[in-house]
A and B are shown apart, each in its own frame.
Chain A
Amino acid sequence: MKILIIEDEKELVKSIVEYLSKEDYLCEVALTFTEAMYKIDMFDYDCILLDITLPGGSGLKILEELKKKNKQDGVIIISAKNSLDDKVKGLQIGADDYLTKPFHLSELNARIYSIIRRKQYSNTNIIKLNELEINLLSKNVFVNNEVVALTKKEFNLLIYFIGNKNRVLSKSTLAEHLSGDFADMFDNYDFVYAHVKNLKRKLSNAGYEQHIKTVYGTGYKWEE
């Protein structure tokens, strides 16, 4: 699977490439506007990570160009501009997702995973992992064709784990993912523990093999 990273900050690119290379992804990099325009013109990608502020032009122009050419590449905008206008504009033009810097690589990884699944199985929107079946559209989870009733947060957690298989996910990272903006507003991250515990219990009760492991005492990992 091919991913294009359009981003001018070299260190950031290096980290993203390093993190993503563990997955089955082939990463290409464009550091400038011109380079990016050339690459999207020449090749097709499964997912494009797009920075808005680039030397030589705006990332939104690249997005417009993609849509003009009717390309099917999934696009995630990664921007330092936490402006709502940009977000709305980007999604209107046709970006699939929007991430504000600074973000966790696991967050990015999960989003890329979702977008690629969506593009690949656009007609079904179903992720299958052995007996586990997740319908992304209706947000239903089945084990051996039987519904597992998950809360919104538990479903959210499950998708995050699956998008970050074999990765260590720390409690604070999960808290930030679950609570978004106000994760750090509370004194402890114990609510993460409660949600993970419930998810684990529900999945194993349904007869699914336990993949969520506790690591280093406070972190978690979906092992496969």
Chain B
Amino acid sequence: MKNLLQKSLKQLTIFAFIVFALSVPSYFFLVDWIWLKELDENNELIAQRIENEFNEQNISDVELAESIRFWNEIQPVSRIEYVQQPLARDSRYTIRRQNPYTTGEAIDRFRGLKTNIKINNRNYVLVIETNVEETEETVVYIAVVTLLFFLILVVGFWVLNRRLSKKLWQPFQDTLEKLKSFQLNSQEQIKFQKTDTIEFAELNATLDKLLQHSVVIYRNQKEFTENASHELQTPLAILKNKVDILLQSDDLTERQYHIAEEMNKALIRISRINKNLLLLAKIENNQFDNSELIGFDILLLQCMDDLQEHIKEKEIDVSSDIHSNVEVKGNRSLIEALINNLLINAIRHTSQRKSIRITLSKSGFKIANSGKEALNPDLLFRRFSRMSADNSGSGLGLSIVQEICRLQSWTVQYSFENNRHTFLVRF
């Protein structure tokens, strides 16, 4: 993954490279063209000067022939030759040949001019050749300079990019950080940083609206659960009491008694579910004092003792490794609920004569019970998502465990190791 500016940097660098690469031949042709044009002008000037100089000498033809011979001897780059007929027109050319003035192998490029001159009214052809810079050398110089500028540009981009991504994107990073740490059930308001970038301001405003909406919906839903379970308590109490009275009737048949007892059982379950829903709502609303110092080990032993008869009844082999003086800060009844829910869960789902292992240390609390196959950890902690055919529980036990852990800033994890369902609470 690359960040946004890095991505654009790559594109820009490629584009810049292409432009610079194309500029090299363009510059070369331009420079070469200027070179040749200037040299042609220069050659013409020299030709005029030679013509004038010779004419101004006013010497005889014999002397002239001698002078030209001598001239040609000492100036091989500008030869003068006598011709009967003048050239139809001047010619300009470029040749490569050995430089007569340098020793060793040195092929140079020359620009030549072949033109007619008149000395003492006789026609001569003058050839002037001037050294021109080599093509290869020009190309290399231009390429080196271009590359240098290209490197300056890329380094500049890179440096600017780093500074920009820090500065320009800072509000965005801030928003991102806040969104990452936001939790719908934490009751905390999210406050975005003020920014003068239109895009970010718009983003923040939209996110804010979205979040507010979610918070309101979440709160309504929570309130509904809480209110509903609260309102249910009185009718439940009435029902329960009416069944109690029914059970006391003198003329009750055994069949009627059993029907009433089944109603009673169902009512106990509804009451339990209702109570747990209320408990969940209260934990979510942070309505518990969380500052008491509690001996986790003592509480755990107490809970184990309370459940002893159920353990005995199923002949479950319980082994435990409980460190003493494990103190935690929290709410006594919630910690008790957490321990009880996990213990009861283990006892209920352990078959006859199987085993449960309980481990407590300063870093965490682990409870593992024998089982056959792994359960889906995503569904396990969800409300009312039962994992087994046995549905006598309220279906809320593990949700409550999870909520209590959230409140305590602990984590609870499920794993299936060595044929054991293992729940680990990390303090």
A contact residues vs B (CB 8 Å cutoff): 9, 11-12, 15-16, 18-19, 22, 80, 82-85, 100-106, 153, 167-168, 170-173, 176, 181-187, 190-191, 194, 215-219
Q: What residues on A are CB-neighbors of B230 within 8 Å?
A: 80
Q: Could you say which of A9, A84, A100, A186 contacts B238, with CB atoms under 8 Å apart? A: A9
Q: What residues on B are CB-neighbors of A83 within 8 Å?
A: 282, 287
* B261 and A82 contacting across the interface, CB-CB below 8 Å: no
- Contacts A19-B245, A153-B309, A170-B261 known; A183 to B234 CB distance under 8 Å? no
Chain A residue, CB-CB nearest to B345 = A185
Q: Is the interface of B mostly helix, strand, loop or mixed?
A: helix
| A185 engages B261 (CB within 8 Å) | no
Residues in A with CB closer than 8 Å to B261 are 170-172, 216, 218-219
CB distance from B102 to the nearest CB of A (A): 107
Q: A153-B309, A170-B247 are in contact. Are A101 and B254 (CB under 8 A)?
A: no
Q: Which B residues contact A (CB, under 8 angstroms)?
A: 230, 233-234, 236-242, 244-245, 247-248, 252, 254, 257-258, 260-261, 264-265, 267-269, 271-272, 275, 278-279, 282, 287-289, 307, 309-310, 313, 333, 340, 344, 347-348, 390, 392-394, 397
The reply to whether B237 and A184 form a contact with Cβ atoms under 8 Å apart is no
Chain A residue contacts of B307, Cβ below 8 A = 182
> In the assembled complex, which residues on chain A have CB atoms less than 8 Å from the CB atom of B279?
82
Which residues in B have their C-beta under 8 angstroms from that of A184? 265, 268-269, 272, 392-394
Which chain B residues border A171 with CB–CB below 8 Å? 261
B313 and A190 within 8 A (CB)? yes
The answer on a CB contact under 8 Å between A101 and B236 is yes
Is the pair A181, B236 in contact by a Cβ cutoff of 8 Å? no
| Cβ contact within 8 Å between B313 and A172 | no
A184-B392, A185-B393, A186-B392 known; A101 and B233 CB under 8 Å?
A: yes
- Most central of A105, A181, A182, A219 by chain B CB within 10 Å: A182
With a cutoff of 8 Å between Cβ atoms, the chain A residues found around residue B269 in the complex are 184
CB distance from A116 to the nearest CB of B (A): 20
- Nearest-neighbour CB distance to chain B for A77, whole angstroms, equals 14
A12, B233: Cβ atoms closer than 8 Å? no
Residues of chain A lying within 8 A (CB to CB) of residue B239: 102
Distance between Cα atoms of A101 and B267 in the complex (Å): 12
Provide 7 A-B residue pairs closer than 8 Å at the C-beta atoms, listed in order of the A residue.
Answer: A82-B275, A100-B275, A102-B239, A182-B307, A185-B392, A186-B392, A216-B261
Interface centre among B240, B272, B333 (most CB of A within 10 A): B240
Does A187 lie within 8 Å of B392, measured CB to CB? yes
| B268 in contact with A216 (CB, 8 Å) | no
With beta carbons under 8 angstroms apart, the residue of A105, A215, A219 that contacts B241 is A105
> Taking the nearest CB of chain B, how far is it from the CB of A76, in angstroms?
14
B310: A residues at CB distance < 8 A: 186, 191
B408 to chain A, nearest CB (A): 16
Among B236, B260, B347, B397, point to the contact of A102 (Cβ < 8 A).
B236
Residues of chain B within 8 A of A167, CB atoms compared: 248
User: Which one of B244, B340, B348 has the greatest number of beta carbons of chain A within 10 Å?
Assistant: B244
Residue of A nearest to B273 (CB): A184
The answer on a CB contact under 8 Å between A80 and B313 is no
Contacts of B241 in A (CB 8 A): 12, 15-16, 19, 102, 104-105
Contact of B340 among A16, A106, A181 (CB under 8 A): A181
Name the residue in A102, A153, A168, A194 with the highest tally of chain B Cβ atoms < 10 Å from its Cβ.
A102
The residue in chain A whose Cβ has the minimal distance to the Cβ of B307 is A182
Interface centre among B254, B309, B392 (most CB of A within 10 A): B309
* A91 and B5 alpha carbons, distance in the complex (Å): 66
